[in-house]
C-alpha cells in the first residue's frame, strides 16, 4: 500500500473552542457502522444521550437549529467530554482529514472546509511537496484501470510542476493546465492514451508557454464582457444544495456588491482591486501564492478521481473555475471594505466556499455536470476570464 500526504499534513491541530466556526454544525454528520454498533451497546448516562441524540434510521446525529445534538454552548463536544476520544465516530475522529482511495494507494489531505486547515494551507510560502511511504499491504480493485490511473498520475505531476513555476504569472499557469487537461481528454476520447508522455513533453517546451501567453492575450475579455460572463457564472450558486442557512444571504450580498451597479462600476472596482494587489510587491506575491495553493489543493484532491469516470478535463475545470469564483468573491469583500483584503478575510472566504461546495456530493456532481456539458465553461470561455 502506498500512502501520500502533502508535507503540511502533520502540522494540523484542531483549535477546538478557539475556532471562530465549528465543524459540528451546518451539515449532517453520518455515523459509520462500527460506531453505530458501539453506540447501541452503551447503557450508561452517555448511552441515554446517544439514544436521544442519534437519528437511528438515517444513521446520523440529530441537529438542533443546524447544530449537532452533542455540540454544547461552548462549541465543545459533550460526547468527547463524557466518553473521551474513543467515542467519536469515524467522521468526527478524522475530519478535516480526507482520504481518496485507489487500488493500492491512499491519498490523504486536509479539507479547506475547516478554517484552521485553510489557514495552514493558504499560509504556506513554499510550494507544496508530496510525501509518499509504502508498506507490505496489497489489495485489488475489480475493474480498476491501472493504465489510466498511471497516466493520470503522470499528468498530475506535470500539472503540479506547471502550477508551481513561480516565474510565470498565475493566470498563465492556470491557462496551461486547462490546455493540458483538454488535450489529455481528447486522447482519452480518441483511444490514444499511449500518447500521454509525448503530450507532457510538449508542455515542457518553451514554445508552449509562449503559445498560451499569446492565447491569453488574444482571449482576455474587456470588463463589460467579463461582467456578463461572471454574472452568468454566479447563477451556478442557485443550482446548488444549501448546507448553511446563512450561505444564500452571504452570496446574495457579495453578488450585489459585484454586479448591482453595472459593468462600468464593476470594471472600475476590479481595476482598483488589482492596483491594490499589484502595487505592493509582497502583497502581489502573497496573492499569487494563495491562488497557487488553491489550484494545487483542488487538483490534488480531485484530478485522479478521473480514473473512475474518465473526465480529467472536468477535474481541471473544477480547480480553475472554483479558484476564479473565489477570486471574484474576494473582489466583493474588497469592495465591502475598500483598501483591504487581509489573510484572515481570504481564509474565511475559502473556508465558507469549501464547506458549502465540498461537503455535498450533490453540489460536486452538479458542478462537474455543468462544467462537462455547458458551453459557457468551454476552454475559450474560461480563458476569457482568467
Question: What's the pLDDT score for residue 2?
Answer: 96
Assess whether 349 and 226 both reside in one domain.
Answer: yes
The pLDDT confidence band at residue 21, using thresholds 50, 70 and 90, is confident
- Provide the pLDDT for residue 161: 98
Q: Which three cell numbers stand for residue 192?
A: 490514444
DSSP, collapsed to helix, strand or coil, labels residue 379 as helix
Strands 2-6 and 105-110: parallel
Q: What is the pLDDT of residues 240-297, one digit of tens each?
A: 999 888 999 999 999 999 999 999 999 999 999 999 999 999 999 999 999 999 999 9
What pLDDT does 251 receive? 97
Look-up: residue for cell 462600468? 264
Instruction: Write out the DSSP string of 103-159.
Output: TTEEEEEE-TTSHHHHHHHHT--SPP-EEEEE-S-----TT--HHHHHHHHHHHHHH
Q: In the chain, how many domains are there?
A: 2
If asked whether residues 210 and 66 sit together in one domain, one would say no
* Residues 209 and 276 occupy one common structural domain: yes
Question: Is the pLDDT higher at 19 or at 374?
Answer: 374
Residue 190 in domain: yes
Residues 90 and 151 occupy one common structural domain: no
Specify whether 77 is located in the same domain as 216: no
pLDDT at 46: 86
What mean pLDDT value characterizes the chain?
94
208/221: higher pLDDT: 208
Tell me the percentage of the chain whose pLDDT exceeds 90. 78
| Average pLDDT of the segment spanning 311-324 | 99
CB-neighbour burial class of residue 342 (10 A; exposed 0-12, middle 13-18, buried 19+): exposed
What are the angstrom distances between the C-alpha of 296 and each of 45, 77, 152, 332? 46, 33, 15, 24
pLDDT tens for residues 115-137?
999 999 999 999 999 999 998 88
Query: 94, 125, 156: which is the final residue of a domain?
Result: 94
pLDDT at 146: 95
Using a pLDDT cut of 70, give the percent of the chain over it.
Answer: 100
pLDDT of residue 203: 98
The count of other CB atoms within 10 Å of the CB of residue 338 is: 11
Identify the H or E element spanning 82.
Answer: helix 78-83
Residues 161 and 273 in one domain: yes
- Same domain for 203 and 332, yes or no, is yes
On the question of pLDDT at 65 being above 90, the answer is no
Q: In the numeric block, which cell numbers belong to residue 170? A: 498565475
351, 219: one domain:
yes
Per-residue model confidence (pLDDT) at position 318: 98
pLDDT band for position 19 (cuts 50, 70, 90): confident
Residue 61 domain boundaries: 24-94
Alpha helices, DSSP H, located in 164-280: 170-189, 196-203, 206-219, 223-233, 247-259, 262-278
Find the range with the poorest average confidence among 148-157, 213-222, 350-359. 213-222
Report whether 363 contacts 241 (CB < 8 A).
yes
Above 80 in pLDDT, residue 235? yes
Whether pLDDT at 350 is above 90: yes
Amino acid at each position: 500500500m502506498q500512502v501520500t500526504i502533502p508535507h503540511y499534513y502533520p502540522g494540523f491541530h484542531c483549535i477546538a473552542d478557539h475556532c471562530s466556526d465549528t465543524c459540528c454544525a451546518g451539515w449532517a454528520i453520518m455515523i459509520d457502522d462500527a460506531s453505530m454498533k458501539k453506540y447501541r451497546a452503551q447503557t450508561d448516562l452517555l448511552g441515554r444521550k446517544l439514544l436521544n441524540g442519534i437519528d437511528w434510521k438515517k444513521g446520523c446525529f440529530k441537529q438542533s437549529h443546524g447544530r449537532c445534538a452533542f455540540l454544547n454552548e461552548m462549541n465543545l463536544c459533550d460526547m468527547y467530554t463524557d466518553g473521551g476520544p474513543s467515542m467519536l465516530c469515524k467522521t468526527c475522529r478524522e475530519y478535516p482529514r480526507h482520504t481518496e482511495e485507489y487500488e493500492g494507494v491512499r491519498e490523504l489531505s486536509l479539507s479547506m472546509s475547516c478554517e484552521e486547515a485553510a489557514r495552514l494551507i493558504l499560509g504556506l510560502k513554499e510550494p507544496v511537496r508530496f510525501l509518499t511511504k509504502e508498506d507490505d499491504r496489497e489489495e485489488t480493485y475489480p475493474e480498476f484501470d491501472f493504465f489510466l490511473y498511471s497516466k493520470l498520475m503522470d499528468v498530475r505531476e506535470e500539472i503540479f510542476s506547471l502550477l508551481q513555476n513561480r516565474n510565470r504569472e498565475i493566470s498563465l499557469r492556470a491557462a496551461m493546465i486547462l490546455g493540458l487537461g483538454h488535450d489529455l481528454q481528447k486522447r482519452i476520447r480518441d483511444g490514444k492514451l499511449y500518447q500521454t508522455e509525448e503530450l507532457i513533453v510538449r508542455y515542457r517546451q518553451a514554445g508552449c508557454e509562449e503559445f498560451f501567453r499569446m492565447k491569453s492575450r488574444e482571449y482576455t475579455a474587456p470588463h463589460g464582457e467579463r461582467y456578463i460572463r461572471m454574472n452568468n457564472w454566479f447563477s451556478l450558486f442557485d443550482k446548488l444544495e444549501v448546507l448553511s442557512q446563512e450561505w444564500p444571504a452571504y452570496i446574495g450580498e457579495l453578488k450585489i456588491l459585484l454586479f448591482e451597479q453595472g459593468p462600468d462600476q464593476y470594471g472600475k472596482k476590479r481595476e482598483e482591486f488589482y492596483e491594490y494587489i499589484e502595487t505592493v510587491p509582497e502583497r502581489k506575491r502573497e496573492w499569487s501564492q494563495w491562488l497557487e495553493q488553491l489550484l494545487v489543493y483542488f487538483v490534488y484532491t480531485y484530478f485522479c478521481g478521473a480514473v473512475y469516470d474518465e473526465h480529467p478535463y472536468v477535474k481541471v475545470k473544477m480547480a480553475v473555475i472554483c479558484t476564479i469564483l473565489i477570486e471574484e468573491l474576494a473582489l466583493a469583500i474588497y469592495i465591502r471594505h475598500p483598501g483591504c483584503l487581509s489573510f484572515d478575510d481570504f481564509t474565511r472566504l475559502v473556508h465558507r466556499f469549501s464547506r458549502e461546495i465540498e461537503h455535498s456530493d450533490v453540489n460536486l456532481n452538479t458542478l462537474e455536470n455543468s462544467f462537462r456539458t455547458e458551453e459557457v465553461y468551454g476552454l475559450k470561455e474560461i480563458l476569457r476570464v482568467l
